[in-house]
Amino acid sequence: MIRETTLSPTKFGCSANHFTRSPRLGLIAFTFQILIAHSSWAQQASLQKVVAQMDHTASAFRSTQANFEWKQWTSVINDFSDVQKGTVYFRRQGTQIEMAADINDPQPPKYVLFKDNKVQMYQPKIDQVTEYDTGKDRATFESFLVLGFGGSGQDMLRNFDVTYVGSEKVDGADTSKLDLVPKSQKARNTFNHIILWIDDRGISVRQQLFAPGGDYRLATYSNIQLNEKISDNVFRLKTTSKTKFLSPKG
């Protein structure tokens, strides 16, 4: 909702008498306030346009497949400490979103699966699955997972305070840049600040997620295929009868 802004000289600490005594100063202050109000309205209109596009895409969302590059910035060394590349998959199953990722660079390959409240990472070379039960934290985890990948704009507004930053090109494509701050303290304990780059399909082509300590994760997506058929086998780990399963606590 865009609120009406009443243009009043007292907003800038200028009384009506001040305007009379110094009409030039008053005109400058008045014009400045109009510019601020216009900028705020323009930002709000741009944000609502992005939200509407995300809602439209989410209403028909079935799946997404994309190539990715995930880079982990570590503030202690002031550099990227880890870079991973591969293919990521999302699909809607009922009311929930499932995610699978094939990480093939660097070698050896790894597979990540989020399904049935669990995050599992399979390392074929050592034939081991490490799994985490999201349990009560599923809603928090999924609020990050679906940003720009099947999540609606209205859900984003419910979970985050969102500011439209401006337009920016990513790999030659026009995108809308959004600044997000999680509303819940539990979510802010994981990522206290997020930047999204949303294309004209309502899909996130880049994400920057900042941890409280200053580290951040930069994810870039390319060759994005929306609502194409994805095999059920993608969302199954190809384990063996000898695979070892670990469930770390804490």
**pLDDT tens readout for residues 179-237:** 999 998 988 998 999 999 999 999 999 999 999 989 999 999 999 999 999 999 999 99
Please report whether residue 18 resides in a domain.
no
Check which CATH number belongs to the domain holding 205 and give it: 2.50.20.10
Lowest mean pLDDT among 51-55, 147-151, 161-165, 169-173: 147-151
Please report whether residue 145 resides in a domain.
yes
Nearest to 119 by CA among 96, 105, 103, 99: 99
Please report whether residue 5 resides in a domain.
no
Which domain covers residue 178, as residue numbers?
A: 56-246
Phi and psi at 3, nearest 5°, equal -80, 145
pTM above 0.85, yes or no: no
Please report whether residue 43 resides in a domain.
no
Please report whether residue 172 resides in a domain.
yes
**SS3 letters for the chain?**
CCCCCCCCHHHHCCCHHHHHHCHHHHHHHHHHHHHHHHHHHHHHHHHHHHHHHHHHHHHCCCEEEEEEEEEEEECCCCEEEEEEEEEEEEEEECCEEEEEEEEEECCCCEEEEEECCEEEEEECCCCEEEEEECHHHHHHHHHHHCCCCCCCHHHHHHHEEEEEEEEEEECCEEEEEEEEEECCHHHHHHCCEEEEEECCCCCEEEEEEECCCCCEEEEEEEEEEECCCCCHHHHCCCCCCCCEEECCCC
How sure is the predictor about 149, in pLDDT bands with cuts at 50, 70 and 90?
confident
Please report whether residue 7 resides in a domain.
no
Domain count, the chain: 1
Please report whether residue 131 resides in a domain.
yes
Please report whether residue 200 resides in a domain.
yes
pLDDT single digits (tens) 29-83: 655 565 554 457 678 889 999 999 999 999 999 999 999 999 999 988 888 889 9
